[in-house]
A and B are shown apart, each in its own frame.
Chain A
């Protein structure tokens, strides 16, 4: 057992973890960050995607001890960023979900993709989003929602 410190969605939190615990388990079970979803447990579906120090990783393939001293952001942690709020509204406007289980992962991933390159389009955008799976198959709507939200990432200041 060891104590690690994770800044989860802006709050510095301590957790006592085993070396073999996954970041996903610690986020959901010990830190109460339940908007990160668990599904395939083998790095394929991407629903457990979080931003670790700003970069997307699949938290089911990341050890909790690796996140010690780092910053973890999930969909709910994006509330302070106006661009990300507009991105989420774009998901709603385009009906870019059916059951909604994959939505947090798509929001986090597309937020990262758009902050990096707000001009991204077409095949490049589809490839960038290909790490997350939507079993309801709302890919067309997700693509439109993200494409539409590019304007906020071009216009709005980085942090509001």
Chain B
């Protein structure tokens, strides 16, 4: 991600490749803010080239075998920190449609061969695709540090642009997504560039009548709308309900203005992508 002329080099650092999570945590403890974590490397290498971030030590997680695993257990799909987007995209039995659609829309197939789901999430740039999908699906991030491990809902992980609610010395070892959820979809509008103007991830559980709408690229962190903020009348037509969602957006979405789009235009696009996503799930032209 670059807005100016690119740098061809990366400032000097020492490359470290631990073989276990505990070894990685020790390195992060030892070097503190001088150390940065790398998984696929697409984000961190781009940021370091652009001099947007720097590190004296780069800790590569790819040498830790357990972080490269995808496991299904107790109704959860657990995705390790170094699992590439390409691998998730190619999982034929992936039931989580919002995740599949979000993952296969990130960058291009060659970048997806290197980039990881956890890496995309940790970039925490407004327009990244994984967070809205993960939040709508009710995903958790597993965090490991010197004090032990803890889980944070992805909805609470991203505080703002490039800001995560984890402490220095902690690493995200993976993400777990409940597979019990209902039907989901992910729609984005990116006007031909890689930066979305707005994206919508919708998850609906027809049995429990729960609806979650997560809007990406409209604010510093994804905006979440659920039963408490959106009034969805289950007997009503999709069109009528979509107008209800639009009304909620008018009152509460407050899309940001930036170099890609004005707030007004972003509102229009937000309404368009959410309508498309809802029609995908509930039917309607």
Are A63 and B14 in contact (CB-based, < 8 A)? no
Interface centre among A61, A65, A132 (most CB of B within 10 A): A61
Residue interface bits B97-131, CB-to-A below 8 A is 1, else 0: 00000000001111101100000000000000000
Interface flag for A159 (CB, 8 Å): no
Are B113 and A42 in contact (CB-based, < 8 A)? no
Q: Give A128 to B110 CA distance when docked, in angstroms.
A: 8
From A24, which residue of chain B is reached at the shortest CB distance? B8
Contact of A43 among B11, B12, B111 (CB under 8 A): B111
Are B14 and A19 in contact (CB-based, < 8 A)? yes
CB distance from B27 to the nearest CB of A (A): 14
Are B109 and A63 in contact (CB-based, < 8 A)? no
Are B6 and A41 in contact (CB-based, < 8 A)? yes
Are A63 and B49 in contact (CB-based, < 8 A)? no
If A41-B49, A42-B46 touch, whether A56 touches B113 (CB-CB below 8 Å) is: yes
Are B42 and A41 in contact (CB-based, < 8 A)? no
In A78-132, the 8 Å CB interface with B consists of 109, 127-128, 130-132
A15 cross-chain contacts in B, Cβ below 8 A: none
Are B111 and A66 in contact (CB-based, < 8 A)? no
Are B46 and A56 in contact (CB-based, < 8 A)? no
Are A128 and B114 in contact (CB-based, < 8 A)? no
B108 cross-chain contacts in A, Cβ below 8 A: 46, 130-131
CB distance from A1 to the nearest CB of B (A): 11
A46 cross-chain contacts in B, Cβ below 8 A: 108, 110
Interface flag for A40 (CB, 8 Å): yes
Interface flag for B2 (CB, 8 Å): yes
A43 cross-chain contacts in B, Cβ below 8 A: 42, 46, 107, 111
Interface flag for A49 (CB, 8 Å): yes
Q: Give A55 to B110 CA distance when docked, in angstroms.
A: 9
Are B109 and A130 in contact (CB-based, < 8 A)? yes
Are A132 and B110 in contact (CB-based, < 8 A)? yes
From A46, which residue of chain B is reached at the shortest CB distance? B110
Residue interface bits A43-54, CB-to-B below 8 A is 1, else 0: 110100100000
Interface flag for B282 (CB, 8 Å): no
Are B110 and A49 in contact (CB-based, < 8 A)? yes
Q: Give A109 to B107 CA distance when docked, in angstroms.
A: 16
Interface flag for B94 (CB, 8 Å): no
B10 cross-chain contacts in A, Cβ below 8 A: 20, 22
How many pairs of residues, A versus B, come closer than 8 Å at their CB atoms? 69
Contact of A131 among B6, B13, B58, B111 (CB under 8 A): B111
From A20, which residue of chain B is reached at the shortest CB distance? B10
In A2-47, the 8 Å CB interface with B consists of 18-20, 22, 38, 40-44, 46
From B15, which residue of chain A is reached at the shortest CB distance? A19
Interface flag for A62 (CB, 8 Å): yes
Q: Give A57 to B62 CA distance when docked, in angstroms.
A: 15
Contact of A61 among B12, B13, B42, B194 (CB under 8 A): B42
CB distance from B232 to the nearest CB of A (A): 33
Are A58 and B110 in contact (CB-based, < 8 A)? yes
Are A57 and B110 in contact (CB-based, < 8 A)? yes
Are A42 and B110 in contact (CB-based, < 8 A)? no
Are A131 and B46 in contact (CB-based, < 8 A)? no
Residue interface bits B72-90, CB-to-A below 8 A is 1, else 0: 0000000000000000000
Q: Give A61 to B39 CA distance when docked, in angstroms.
A: 12
Are B49 and A58 in contact (CB-based, < 8 A)? no
Q: A55-B113, A66-B41, A131-B107 are in contact. List 12 more A-B contacts (CB 8 A).
A: A20-B9, A20-B11, A22-B9, A41-B7, A42-B6, A42-B46, A43-B111, A56-B110, A63-B41, A63-B45, A65-B15, A132-B110
List residues of B whose CB falls within 8 A of some A CB: 1-2, 6-15, 41-42, 45-46, 49, 58, 60, 62, 107-111, 113-114, 194
* Sampled A-B contacts (12; CB under 8 Å): A19-B13, A19-B14, A20-B9, A40-B6, A41-B49, A43-B46, A43-B111, A56-B110, A63-B41, A65-B15, A66-B60, A127-B109
List residues of A whose CB falls within 8 A of some B CB: 18-20, 22, 38, 40-44, 46, 49, 55-58, 61-63, 65-66, 109, 127-128, 130-132
Please name the 3 residue pairs, one residue from A and one from B, whose CB atoms are nearest each other, closest first.
Answer: A131-B110, A131-B108, A19-B15
